[in-house]
Amino acid sequence: MELYTYYRSTSSYRVRIALALKGLDYHAQPVNLIAPGGGEHRQPAYLALNPQGRVPALRTDAGHLLTQSPAIIEFLEERYPQVPLLSRDLATRAQERAVAALIGCDIHPLHNVSVLNLLRQWGHDESQVQAWIGHWITQGLAAVEQLIGENGYCFGHEPGLADVYLIPQLYAAERFKVALDAYPRIRRVAALAQQHPAFVQAHPANQPDTPA
C-alpha cells in the first residue's frame, strides 16, 4: 500500500496510527503542503489522484485509490479485521464512533489550514485566529473528556477508533498551545499512547518528511 501523507496533517496521522495498530506495511509518499507554489497537494499530479487536493490518500494493494481518513480507516477495519479498532459490543462501538465523529467532524475541520487561511483573508489578525482555534478545540475536548472511560484508553485496555482520532487532535492542541490541564481522562490516554509502539511509529516526529 502507498499512503500519501504529510507529517503533521491530523488526518494523515489518524491513518498512520490505524495502519500501525493493525501491523500493516505501507510506503509513505510525502506530499508537502507548504512547498513553494502553494503546496504539492495543489499541483496537477496530485489533483489527478485526489481532486479535493487534500491528504491523506491511500492506494491499496489492489490498486484502489481511497480518500478521506474516515473512509480509509473504515476500509482498513473491514479489510483487515484481525486487530479490531471497534469493540464487539454494539453500544460501545456506537460510543467509539461518536467520539471519532466529534473530533473528525466538529473539532478538526474548524482549525484546518483552509479555514484558518480564509479567516486571515477576511481580515482577522493572528490573535483572533488563535482565539478561534482555542475556542473550538477546548469546547470539543471538554465534551470528549465526559464521553470516554475512566480507565485505560478511551474505551478499554486496548487502543481503538476513538484513540486513533484523539491522539492526533492532542498533537494539534499542543501545536496551537491549547492547555489540557482540565482533562485528566484525556491526559491519561495521551500518557498511554506515548508508550505504545504504534502511536510512536505514527507520530509526526518520526515521519520521512519530518523536517530535520
> What phi and psi, each to the nearest 5 degrees, are found at residue 102?
-60, -45
Residues 97 and 121 in one domain: yes
Single pTM value for the model = 0.96
Do both 61 and 129 map to the same domain? no
Tell me if 206 is assigned to some domain: no
Say if residue 104 is in the same domain as residue 52.
no
Nearest CA-CA partner of 19 in 190, 207, 209, 210:
207
Q: Does residue 32 sit within a domain?
A: yes
Are 101 and 166 in a shared domain? yes
Instruction: Cell numbers for 91, please give them.
Output: 453500544
Closest CA to 77 of 10, 28, 31, 14: 14
With beta carbons less than 8 A apart as the criterion, state whether 163 and 100 touch. Answer: no
Structural domain for 35, as ranges: 2-83
Q: SS3 for 169?
A: helix
Collect all residues with Cβ–Cβ distance below 8 Å to 115 and sequence separation of at least 6: 109
Q: Which whole-number Å values give the CA distances from 3 to 24, 170, 204, in the listed order?
A: 11, 22, 14
pLDDT at res. 38: 84
Query: How many domains does one find in the chain?
Result: 2
Q: Is residue 210 part of a domain?
A: no
Binned average pLDDT, 10 residues per bin, the chain of 212 residues: 98 98 98 91 94 97 97 98 96 98 97 94 97 98 98 97 98 97 98 98 98 92
Evaluate whether residue 209 is within a structural domain. no
- Cα–Cα dist 25/125, whole Å: 43
One domain, residues 64 and 31: yes
With cell 481580515, the residue in question is 123
- Residue that is last in its domain, among 51, 67, 83: 83
Say yes or no: 194 and 106 in one domain.
yes
Cell of 190: 495521551
Q: How far is CA 80 from CA 31, 90, 177, 208, in A?
A: 26, 19, 36, 25
Which residue, of 83, 117, 142, is where some domain finishes? 83
The distance between the two most distant Cα atoms of the chain, rounded to a whole number of Å, is 50
pLDDT of residue 11: 98
- Is residue 204, in this structure, part of any structural domain at all? no
Where residue 162 sits, what CATH number does that domain have? 1.20.1050.10
Domain termination site, one of 61, 83, 105: 83
Residues 91, 98: Cα–Cα separation, whole Å = 11
CATH number at residue 72: 3.40.30.10
**Does residue 173 lie in a domain region?**
yes
- 95 and 194 in a single domain? The answer is yes
